[in-house]
Amino acid sequence: MSQQANCPNCGAAIRFRWSGAVQTTCEYCRSILVRRDVNLEKVGQVADLPPDVSPIQIGTEGVYQDKAFQVVGRILYDYKDGAWNEWHVIFQDGKSGWLSDSQLEYTVSFLGTAPEPLPQSGQINHGRKFNWNGTTYDVTSITRANYRGVEGELPFEYWDKEHATFADLRTEDGRFATIDYSDDPPLLFFGASVDFDNLKFKNLRQLDRLGGGEKTAVAGLNCPGCGAALSISAAGHTLTVACPKCHSILDAKDPNLQVLEKFQARQAIDPLIPLGSRGKLFGTEYEVIGFQERTTDVEDVPDSWLEYLLFNRYKGFRYLTEYKGHWNFVQTVPASPEHVRSGKKGGVRFMGRTYKAFASALATTTYVMGEFPWRVHVGEKNGTSDYIAPPRILSNEITEGESVWSLGIYMPGTEIWQAFQLPGQAPAARGIYLNQPAPFAGQASSMWGASFKWLWALIFVAILFYAFAGRETVFEKRYSFSPRSGAEASFVTDTFEVRGHPSNVEVSISTDLDNAWAYFSLALINESTGQGYDFGREVSYYHGRDSDGNWTEGHRNDSAIIPSVAPGRYYLRVEPEMGKEAMSMLYTLEIKRSVPSAAFFWIGAVLLLLPPLRATWRVAKFESKRWSESDQAES
């Protein structure tokens, strides 16, 4: 069949974007047309589709894994918590795929082959694991959906459906699979979650980037409970609205805003960021549309944090959480992180990063205000588990058997104030928050790197000194001494010249002592100034054999360093001394100037290591305080 045909119902021209299309719809009379051999046959009529809040439309183009695609058709479903589109996309190589947008979260998937028979819809349950092609997939949600209509070109006939069940599965790294029970046997699709920006869309529907578009304008309403003016910015996505005046929770899907419940607030809470505020975070403009307080009650001590719901019509929902001046920018992640051991603690692995288990608690929603894309309920309890890899936090919430993971990144309050142009200053952060980055963490590691460079520099300087130090022998002479001779022991050496700049002088004594000791009273005296350096050195050397074997003690040689000796002519006064029982000894005196000393290099090494050691200590102290708040034992 050619790329063009005529509608058998109204005669309008039908132009196919994809030659493989089995079904299409007439844009004029909205007939559902199916290819029968070379002809088009009308098989049904498209019902009026509900107002669309998706930015995608037939003809939208994008890129996935470096391949361009075009949207050529769609199937629309709804379920108890909203609606979603399965957009049929055709890639430049003719391959057919599916782009799903559910609450502005996007996945791309392709029909795959199950390596094993798939379970029937009644046999599948949340948490069940499948291993396909070496990858583990967890069932994260099972959705009973209603077929709401079709549009454009599809790769199969799809027009007479009512209900369909879908099981969504995730991997720890964001890969995705769906078991589609709308057909028998069920179909299996493999794909991945994709960020809006990465899809590089063109030809999107022109929507107000925040508030809505032609069909999704901000709705101005009045609370049926108190008459207060309300607005719905995320029309089409919002399921409940909480009136900030009378605390009624309203059904946003009901044209009359039916009151679902009314809660008693302990006290009204003024959000630090007012509802309706707009701010740019990470390059995207968001509007604050909802606010809730959630409270844990550990050992009868209530502890609350605040959550601000942010909305962008193209990129969906994000959250800002605030606890004692600590802020996190949070978004849900379509993944099922793998549980691992992280050191002695439990943890999870997500996108190549390990997060340590920090705390688990039961959180209760205690205050709500504004719009929510879920059926918010004060008093609702969710199990929460937090895993940290500062500045990131990965949180898991379990609700009615559904497991939702979200990824947060720590933000200073000043950045929030700047982004939303809030008056005044952000409240100062108190205490240490679980994923607050240690202020010296980066500093410590980089300082260690710098310290090793300085240590290399120090070694280089040491090598230079040892290589080029003078070690100039200025005097050397051999003497003998006998204590039994009765002669005056003291004597002075010949004078010798110490040249050059002030430097140290090393006086070395080498003896032939054998099981004897000697003591030398020494004075290095400047011949012209009379300035002297007075010092003594003992030398003793003993050896023998006992029941433990051979032993030795002491040395026959010794030396002394005289610091900073000015140049000039010197002589040495020597007064040897030995025990009266000793016979005699021969000894040599050697005097050298400018002898390198290792002591200062060792001191330098220690001094260079002090700053990184201090930074590391501060990090350790910070981490100790952080983990003191954890319910994860260190052991």
Residue 370 φ/ψ, nearest 5 degrees: 95, -155
Q: Which residue lies nearer to other proteins by CB, 334 or 483?
A: 483
In the complex, the smallest distance separating the C-beta of residue 529 from other proteins, rounded to whole angstroms, is 8
User: How far apart, in whole angstroms, are the C-alpha atoms of residue 58 and residue 74?
Assistant: 8
First-to-final CA distance of the chain: 71
Distances (CA, A) of 181 to 13, 96, 101, 145: 34, 19, 19, 10
Q: Which residue lies nearer to other proteins by CB, 320 or 589?
A: 589
In the complex, the smallest distance separating the C-beta of residue 607 from other proteins, rounded to whole angstroms, is 5
Binding site for other proteins (CB under 8 A): 443, 446-447, 450-451, 454, 457-458, 461, 465, 469, 488-492, 501-505, 515, 517, 519, 521-523, 525, 527, 530-536, 538, 540, 542-544, 546, 551, 553-554, 560-565, 571, 573, 575, 579, 593-594, 596-597, 599-601, 603-604, 607-608, 611
Q: Which residue lies nearer to other proteins by CB, 284 or 521?
A: 521
In the complex, the smallest distance separating the C-beta of residue 410 from other proteins, rounded to whole angstroms, is 21
Give 3-state DSSP helix, strand, coil % of the chain, rounded to 5.
10, 50, 40
Question: How many Cα atoms sit within 13 Å of 469 on the Cβ side?
Answer: 19
User: How far apart, in whole angstroms, are the C-alpha atoms of residue 90 and residue 174?
Assistant: 23
In the complex, the smallest distance separating the C-beta of residue 343 from other proteins, rounded to whole angstroms, is 28
Best CA proximity match to 74, nearest among 93, 104, 54: 54
Q: 3-state class of 450 per DSSP?
A: helix
Q: 3-state class of 415 per DSSP?
A: helix
CA dihedral in degrees (84, 85, 86, 90; nearest 10)?
-150
Q: Which residue lies nearer to other proteins by CB, 326 or 593?
A: 593
Q: Which residue lies nearer to other proteins by CB, 159 or 520?
A: 520
Best CA proximity match to 207, nearest among 55, 85, 311: 55
Q: Which residue lies nearer to other proteins by CB, 397 or 577?
A: 577
Which amino acid is present at 175? Answer: R
Best CA proximity match to 156, nearest among 179, 182, 117: 182
In the complex, the smallest distance separating the C-beta of residue 421 from other proteins, rounded to whole angstroms, is 32
In the complex, the smallest distance separating the C-beta of residue 482 from other proteins, rounded to whole angstroms, is 17
User: How far apart, in whole angstroms, are the C-alpha atoms of residue 509 and residue 33?
Assistant: 111
Q: Which residue lies nearer to other proteins by CB, 395 or 451?
A: 451
DSSP secondary structure of 296-363: EEETTEEEEEEEEEEEETTTEEEEEEEETTEEEEEEEES--PEEEEETTEEEEEETTEEEEEEEEEEE
In the complex, the smallest distance separating the C-beta of residue 558 from other proteins, rounded to whole angstroms, is 12
Q: Which residue lies nearer to other proteins by CB, 409 or 523?
A: 523
Token pair of 440 as six digits: 């010296």
Q: Which residue lies nearer to other proteins by CB, 12 or 560?
A: 560
In the complex, the smallest distance separating the C-beta of residue 110 from other proteins, rounded to whole angstroms, is 46
User: How far apart, in whole angstroms, are the C-alpha atoms of residue 55 and residue 207?
Assistant: 7
Q: Which residue lies nearer to other proteins by CB, 305 or 517?
A: 517
Only one residue has tokens 């590391």, namely 616
User: How far apart, in whole angstroms, are the C-alpha atoms of residue 133 and residue 16?
Assistant: 35
In the complex, the smallest distance separating the C-beta of residue 521 from other proteins, rounded to whole angstroms, is 4
Radius of gyration of the chain (CA): 42
In the complex, the smallest distance separating the C-beta of residue 616 from other proteins, rounded to whole angstroms, is 14
In the complex, the smallest distance separating the C-beta of residue 623 from other proteins, rounded to whole angstroms, is 21
Q: Which residue lies nearer to other proteins by CB, 299 or 546?
A: 546
Token pair of 32 as six digits: 């559902």
In the complex, the smallest distance separating the C-beta of residue 508 from other proteins, rounded to whole angstroms, is 14
Q: Which residue lies nearer to other proteins by CB, 421 or 529?
A: 529
Best CA proximity match to 178, nearest among 192, 193, 170, 167: 167
In the complex, the smallest distance separating the C-beta of residue 588 from other proteins, rounded to whole angstroms, is 19
CB 273 within 8 A of CB 367: no
Q: Which residue lies nearer to other proteins by CB, 209 or 573?
A: 573
